Amino acid sequence: MDAKTIWDYLLQKTGNEYGTAAIMGNLMAESSLNPSCATGKNKVPNYVQAADNGEVNFVADGVAFGLVQWCYSSRKLGLMNYAKATGRSVGHLQMQLEYLVKEMSESYKTAWSAVTGATSIRAASDVVMLKYEKPAGTSEAAKAKRASYGQQFYDQFAKKKPEPTPSGKKQIRATANVNVRTGPGTMFPKKFQLPNGQTLELIEEDGGWYKVALYVMADYAEVIS
């Protein structure tokens, strides 16, 4: 299972981390991200090799196969034709990823729009499940499980965005190790020391002191935007 490879490829194509996580959560539920996964009563040993060699009726045998667990004959035919056209095995990971994107973007546009424009993992995951994967079980528990898988991949691979500084707020940055006091004067008790280079949100300036949650002497700090 190469989850990072799958994440990187899908993110490049969707341009959306929530949508990528939603697809991967569904793939995890379907196949555990295994492109050789085959399920069904007509499955035979070495199924991928047998399919590549024409030893099974891949299109119509009812075996759910691959990352997506393609099962309907028309969808398996499309997968097989794409594999042959690109000269790769039907179980090739990169080939299946390419076909997934092609299939979803061309034939399952509701799902594709959901992942490319996703603002949450759960919402996009539900659409992928109901409009693309279309499994037999669509209970709330099944939806939640797929979304939870997606969240795990998001937590593992997504680039976390730093929290923005509130609009219009200024900060002070210590220019030396400076005492933070309860009032604007050295007679006020010291609460803690702000290390050089560390910041606090500025509430107001009070003479030669900066009021933060408490007070910092202005000689040892500077205001930054």
Residue 162 is predicted with a pLDDT of: 47
Largest CA-CA distance found in the chain, in angstroms, rounded: 90
Q: Evaluate whether 3-157 and 171-224 have a shared fold.
A: no
User: Is the pLDDT reported for residue 34 higher than 70?
Assistant: yes
Over residues 91-112, the pLDDT tens digits come to 999 999 999 999 999 999 999 9
Residue 193 is predicted with a pLDDT of: 84
The sign one gets for the Cα dihedral 12, 34, 23, 92 is positive
* CB 130, CB 110: distance < 8 Å: no
Residue 163 is predicted with a pLDDT of: 46
Of the two residues 124 and 200, the one the predictor is more confident about is 124
Domain boundaries, the chain: 3-157, 171-224
Distance of CA 196 to the CA centre of its chain: 36
Over residues 125-142, the pLDDT tens digits come to 999 999 999 999 999 999
Rg (CA), the chain: 28
Residue 160 is predicted with a pLDDT of: 61
- 225: confidence class by pLDDT, cuts 50, 70, 90: low
Over residues 159-208, the pLDDT tens digits come to 765 444 455 678 888 888 888 888 888 888 888 888 888 888 888 887 78
For the segment(s) 171-224, the CATH number from 2.60.220.10, 3.90.550.10, 2.30.30.40, 2.30.42.10 is 2.30.30.40
Domain over 3-157 is classified CATH 3.20.20.100? no
**Mean predicted lDDT score pLDDT of the chain:** 91
3-state secondary structure the chain: CCHHHHHHHHHHHHCCHHHHHHHHHHHHHHHCCCCCCEECCCCCCCHHHHHHCCCCCCCCCCCEECCCCECCHHHHHHHHHHHHHCCCCCCCHHHHHHHHHHHHHHHCHHHHHHHHCCCCHHHHHHHHHHHHHCCCCCCHHHHHHHHHHHHHHHHHHCCCCCCCCCCCCCEEEECCCEEEECCCCCCCCEEEEECCCCEEECCEEECCEEECCCEEEHHHEEEEC
Q: What's the pTM value of the predicted model, to 2 decimals?
A: 0.71
